[in-house]
Amino acid sequence: MEKTKSMRFKIKKSALKIGFIFAIAGGVLTSCSNYEEHTPEQDETSGNTALEDIDYEKRNTIFGKGGLTLFGSKPEDNSGGALGVNFYLWRASIDTISFMPVNTADAFGGVILTDWHTPPEAPSERFKLNVYILDRKLRADGVRVAVFRQIQDRTGNWKDAAVPDETGIKIEDAILMRARQLRNQSVTN
């Protein structure tokens, strides 16, 4: 009984190895099937191809046109930097909500979560913001703000309260206006 279990395990293990080898071989053969030879222009005097004359973006490789790209493609012109989100929206969001204590800020995920903030003019009321940057481009729909509000009752407990819809929209507009200012400053400098 023990020998048959051991034998079955060995057979399954060897079958998996063979399957893996065939999968790798199939991938290599498939990638070679679309290969077209690239003949760059040659130097007329020596017959050699100058390395600086080769357009590496258009050359054919086993990985397709342009070769293998790790970690994404070229950054877009409007991205504003190497963050996971648009730099101008990120910086404008931080600037706009700087009066509130920040609990979490993830520049690559585009999330800013604040802690509760009690305005001095309304000590029985507190607010919390969640800012989501949704795009690498500076666009009007690239930022979303969720606003939470609580009111303190007579016993000292905090109760959730309604927030007008336009509150989040006004904060989004303030972030977008600041982002445009930052972008214009960087273009003129």
Query: Domain boundaries in the chain?
Result: 1-33, 38-74, 87-188
Intervals of the chain under pLDDT 50:
42-43, 74-77
Whole-number pLDDT of residue 84: 79
- For the domain made up of 87-188, give the CATH fold: Alpha-D-Glucose-1,6-Bisphosphate; Chain A, domain 4 (3.30.530)
Which stretches of 22-85 are assigned E, i.e. beta strand?
60-61, 64-65
Whole-number pLDDT of residue 154: 93
Whole-number pLDDT of residue 145: 96
Asked if 93 contacts 144 with a C-beta cutoff of 8 angstroms, the reply is no
Whole-number pLDDT of residue 168: 94
Whole-number pLDDT of residue 75: 43
Whole-number pLDDT of residue 76: 46
Whole-number pLDDT of residue 20: 63
Give dist(CA 136, CA 24) in Å, integer.
Answer: 35
